[in-house]
Structures are given as C-alpha cells and as structure tokens.
Structure 1
C-alpha cells in the first residue's frame, strides 16, 4: 500500500515582500508568488505570515471582544438576531447554522459589505447588526479595512504566480476592488460526544479568499488533503464527509503571527480548475470555548468571473488542467443562487 508523503502541514508564506514597491525586492516577490502558486495547486490552503502587516495584539483584542459578546445572556445576544434583518446579517444561535443537513455546534455573528438602499426582504441586502459592547464595532471595522487591503495584496501576488501581465492584473483587480466581503465571528463550545454532527461540517468556500484568525486552540480546524492511493483513516468517530476521495484530514493549528488562508470556488473559475477549493471542517473536542474570525474577501457583487487569459496561455504550453472547463458567472448571481433560498426561514445553513 502506498505510504503517505511527508505533507502533514500547510506551507507558511510571508507576504512582506508585497507590502512595499521596493524594486530591489523583485527576487523576494517572485519567491512569494511562486510559493502561493504551488500552495494553491497542492493544497488550496496555506498560512500567511502577517507580522509585517498586523500587530498581533489587534486580533487578540478582537477575540476578547468576541468572548465578551458570547458570554452575554441568550436574551441579549438575540437582540441582534438574523431574523431582525435578511436572515444573513446578525447573530445565529448555537446549532442554528446547518451544514450538509446537520446542525453545527457553534454560534456566531455575520456581517456583509454595507449596501446602498438596504432592503431586508432581499437576500444579503439588509443592514449589519452590531453588539453594543464598547469599542466592538470600531475595532472590527478597523480589521475589515485591513483584511480588504490584504485581499488586494494577496490577489496581486497570485497574479504574479500565474504569469499575468500588468494589464491583465489591472483587469482582475477591477473585479475585486469593491469586494462584497463577509466576516463571521464564531464561538465554538466543546463538541458533545453525543452530537450527531460537527462543530462545523465539511465544506468548500464559494468565494475568493478566506483569511482566518483563530485563538490558539489546537486540533480544531481540519483540512482534507488529497493523496491518491492513500485511503482515508478518519479517527474523528464522526461520519465521513469526503465521499470516495482518497486522502487524509490534517490539522491546521493556529501559528502566532499568521492567518490561515484558503481559496474559494471563484478561483476555480478564474483558473479553469487549476486551483481548487478544498474541503475543511471544525472538530473542537477541547475543553475550552474556541473563537475564530474568518474574513471572506470576495469579488465585487457585479463582477463577471471567467477563466483568465493566462490560463489559455498555460494550456497552449501544455500545462494539464483537470476537469471540465468552467462557465463564467456573475458573482452576485452566484452568491444569491448558493445561499438565497436559505434566508427565507430561520435556522437554515448559510455556509
């Protein structure tokens, strides 16, 4: 039987070379871009070292504020319930979110990019609901601005790795420069032994880039790494979620100074399948209350997402790209098609 390769941790990539325009930094930029390209093909997941971009105290303060909210009474948390708005923006109770037909053992608050002329009867078109905890909104809005900036930085670095021209990058940038971003603040109590499900069931993100900051809790976030010829030996004791795919689940434990980054389905379309969105889940069996803060950097709502010209050049050079060709999509239509029917009733899954 084939033995697993020594690929049990995700790569760590330092984004520092792309934080300034120093022309003498070209070699480091090229190395970073190549590392991103390799990680997107091999894993769809990687760590981003942000020590040159973010003070580690900032996300720690966000975690503290999140814990303060989740420690409130149920009555107080329900004051910003999803049902007050578009069933997208606001607070979801423990087990209110559903993945793969099973209740997820977490609670959370969801925020989306503010829109003009909000209308809570339309999917994702309501208004964000903020806790009244002092400094909560101010600190999180500062984080949102930094993550939006980080999204453009990482996208540019990926354009280098894909061999895009500067004109092609500017065209791609115009599709994400008004990102219809999403941010979640999630609280995970320990997973009960008798719970018929996961802390968060296995799923693939359907957008562009996810930047996940999580508290130091180990052995919670898991990523499925495909390894042909290696049968999965899932020891979670929970139902298998990867179907017949061969591979293993690995832990993506927090690393100080880093966020976990993964690509969503829009990158599958842009690269016509060269980059693939990867299954991941949360199984939190520890004794603590875990907090994570994923930020989803997405295309513009009206962005037309279609295979990039650089992919055509790769194919002409003989680069093998698996699977059928991807169809163009308007991101907003894709988003509403994915989740729109989940906003009509309370207690439906959204991720």
Structure 2
C-alpha cells in the first residue's frame, strides 16, 4: 500500500548544520514534491509535543461552547473571511462541508472590514487561547522559511536566487484554520471537506497538525493504468484521472505538508498540487497552518526550475507543458477566497 514519505527537517534546525544531511533532506523533499505533492515533516527537534496538545485542548473548549457563544466571533462581524464559520457554511465543489472552524489571517495595517480580507482577526474569549495560538503561528512562520530554504537547495537554486525568492515570502500572508469535525452523518451527500487541491487549503505550503482519527485525510495519487479504489462508497471526485486514494494517517511528531498552486507556478509544473479530501468519522480537531507568499509577491517560474525542466527535455513551450503565467499573490488570493463560503457571505467577493 502506498504511503507518503517521512522527511526529517532536523538537519536544517540544528545549530551546527551538517551539509551532507541537509543535502539528503533537500533531495528527499524534491522527490516528494515531484512524486506526491504531499509528505510528512518530522518536526520533533523543532517543537515540544505538548504545544499542539494544548492547542487541541483549547480548540475543543471553543467548539464545545453553545452556538450563540461561538457566533459572537462569526465571519459576518468582520470581512467574511476572518472569524468563526458555522457547520456547513464552508463550501467545496458546490457542496456544504461538514465542519466548523475559526479562520485567522495575517494582521494588516489600517484594517477595514468593508474590504475583502482586510478586517481584523476575531479570538474566542478563552484564557490563553490567543497567546498559545500566536506562539504557534510564529513557530510555523519560521518553519515555513526553513522549509523553503531546504526546498531551494533541492531545486538547485543559487544562493542569490534563494535570497530573491526569500524576499517574496519573508512577510508571509499566512492563514491559520482551527477546524472542528463532528462525525460525518450517514445521509450526508458531501464530505467533511470535499476534494480540492487549493482552496480551502489556500495555495502554497500547508502544515497540518492532524488529530488521531485514522482514514480521515485522503490523498489522490495519479497513477496511469490503475483504477480508483473508492473508499467507503463515497464519490471518487477524481474526474477522468487514473489513480488511487490513500490515507494520510497521523504520524507522531510530524505535520502533514502539501504544496499548492503557487509552487506549481514557481516550478512551472515540475511540482504539482495534489487532490485531497477529508472524510471524518470521529469527533476531533485539526490545526492547519498555511505559509503563503507575501501579499504583493510576484509569482513566476523560477530560473532553477526552468533549468531542471530543460535538462530533462521538458521545455516550457513543449506540447505537454505550457509556461505558467505569473500572478500577484494578493490578487490570486482575493479571487479564490470569495467562492468558499455559503450564501450570506459568498456574494461579498463575487
């Protein structure tokens, strides 16, 4: 049975880096991004396991509150993006998702809730909730830069090229979701979160601290000449692609990572975002952090990626690979987020 690779980021967080070990980590990341678009990142040398456990406890405390208390920080109070979204308010592929969540974004200067994404974050009135999550956010932002550096080595970027790329992500317009999943009802014709490869996961690098529920996160691996193994009788949602769904079950001391469309553009399709979905039959909590480019970042194919593609005989102008058009990340994000919520908020960004 196929399984996602486990990659240890320790060589890049150690005080005295072993360049040979760093190279091995970078090579493993490069292979994982090409083959899977997903991987487990071992961060046991970077965090204390008690930290995500405390975040989970706080999430559980919030989602157990009466509905009227949770609604005090609802999306509609701000910019329809920051705050609490009720059960089935999030929409994927036209179907309501069976989860509730708190969505947080990078704070902005001169917030204005009448502008898309430009409101203020809303926090539950629970002791130490914001403090603990703020600490986790800072750690994940730093982890994003560490992982980016490791990936730049895997792509064969020069030091100068890496510094240019770093300048596009050093003020990440990050996104944080605190998600509560009730058990998926037997008569529910959708998913806990439907199949997607970008929104609602936004679109760059995600770090998912997963709950213990097995068979919840499912990843679609493209494989020609195979038939889709449809799990639990649910629709495959794979279109005409050939491949298989595999479970990305939690691994101790690891976060699940996946890449999004921004990496597809930066690598001109060498790295591909991967279709995935959540079919949650427990009652637990997931805490994904999305390390995004700067809001003003110009995302265009990287010279290092184009060199690799050229060396493989895959020129951007070949019939099977078109050059990806550059995008400004903030414009891309604004175009994506507005389609993600049910009637009542959706129309604000259409």
Once the two structures are TM-superposed, the CA of residue 215 in structure 1 deviates from its matched residue by: 1.5
Partner of 1:3: none
Moved more, 237-246 or 166-175: 237-246
Is the 8 Å Cα contact of residues 152 and 177 (structure 1) preserved in structure 2?
A: yes
Partner of 1:311: 305
Q: Measure the CA separation in 1 of the matches of 2:341 and 2:118.
A: 11
Is the 8 Å Cα contact of residues 270 and 309 (structure 2) preserved in structure 1?
A: no
Once the two structures are TM-superposed, the CA of residue 149 in structure 1 deviates from its matched residue by: 0.1
Is the 8 Å Cα contact of residues 37 and 274 (structure 2) preserved in structure 1?
A: yes
Partner of 1:330: 328
Encode CA deviations 1:110-164: one digit per residue, 9 max, x unaligned: 0000000111111111000000100000000000000000000000000000000
Find 1:223's aligned residue among 219, 224, 249: 219
Partner of 1:275: 271
Is the 8 Å Cα contact of residues 181 and 192 (structure 2) preserved in structure 1?
A: yes
Find 1:92's aligned residue among 85, 91, 97: 85
Once the two structures are TM-superposed, the CA of residue 208 in structure 1 deviates from its matched residue by: 1.2
Once the two structures are TM-superposed, the CA of residue 228 in structure 1 deviates from its matched residue by: 0.6
Moved more, 236-245 or 261-270: 236-245
SS at match of 1:147: helix
Once the two structures are TM-superposed, the CA of residue 236 in structure 1 deviates from its matched residue by: 2.5
The unaligned stretches of length 5 or more in structure 1 are 1-5
Partner of 1:142: 135
Find 1:42's aligned residue among 35, 39, 48: 35
What pairs with 1:38-117 in structure 2 (closer than 5 Å)?
38-117=31-110
May I ask how many residue pairs the two structures share in their alignment? Answer: 341
Find 1:184's aligned residue among 142, 153, 177: 177
Q: Measure the CA separation in 2 of the matches of 1:39 and 1:175.
A: 23
Partner of 2:291: 297
Once the two structures are TM-superposed, the CA of residue 289 in structure 1 deviates from its matched residue by: 1.1
Once the two structures are TM-superposed, the CA of residue 29 in structure 1 deviates from its matched residue by: 0.3
Once the two structures are TM-superposed, the CA of residue 312 in structure 1 deviates from its matched residue by: 2.4
SS at match of 1:18: helix
Find 1:22's aligned residue among 10, 16, 30: 16
Q: Measure the CA separation in 2 of the matches of 1:219 and 1:161.
A: 31
SS at match of 1:9: coil
Matched, 1:127 2:120: yes
Partner of 1:194: 187
Once the two structures are TM-superposed, the CA of residue 235 in structure 1 deviates from its matched residue by: 2.8
Is the 8 Å Cα contact of residues 96 and 348 (structure 1) preserved in structure 2?
A: no
Matched, 1:10 2:25: no
Encode CA deviations 1:230-263: one digit per residue, 9 max, x unaligned: 0112033222211011111111011110000000
Encode CA deviations 1:48-107: one digit per residue, 9 max, x unaligned: 000000001100100000000000000000000000000000000000111000000000
Encode CA deviations 1:158-190: one digit per residue, 9 max, x unaligned: 000000000000000000000000000000010
Q: Measure the CA separation in 2 of the matches of 1:60 and 1:319.
A: 47
Partner of 1:169: 162
Encode CA deviations 1:194-248: one digit per residue, 9 max, x unaligned: 0010000001124210000012111100000111110112033222211011111
Is the 8 Å Cα contact of residues 92 and 340 (structure 2) preserved in structure 1?
A: no
Once the two structures are TM-superposed, the CA of residue 21 in structure 1 deviates from its matched residue by: 5.4
Is the 8 Å Cα contact of residues 179 and 301 (structure 1) preserved in structure 2?
A: yes
Q: Measure the CA separation in 1 of the matches of 2:313 and 2:53.
A: 43
Q: Measure the CA separation in 1 of the matches of 2:14 and 2:314.
A: 34
Q: Measure the CA separation in 2 of the matches of 1:319 and 1:135.
A: 54
The unaligned stretches of length 5 or more in structure 2 are none
Question: What TM-score, normalized by structure 2, do the two folds share?
Answer: 0.94
Q: Measure the CA separation in 2 of the matches of 1:284 and 1:315.
A: 38
CA separation of 1:244/1:341 partners in 2, compared to 1, >3 Å: closer, same or farther?
closer
Partner of 2:338: 340
SS at match of 1:236: helix
Is the 8 Å Cα contact of residues 105 and 121 (structure 2) preserved in structure 1?
A: yes
Moved more, 312-321 or 159-168: 312-321
Matched, 1:118 2:116: no
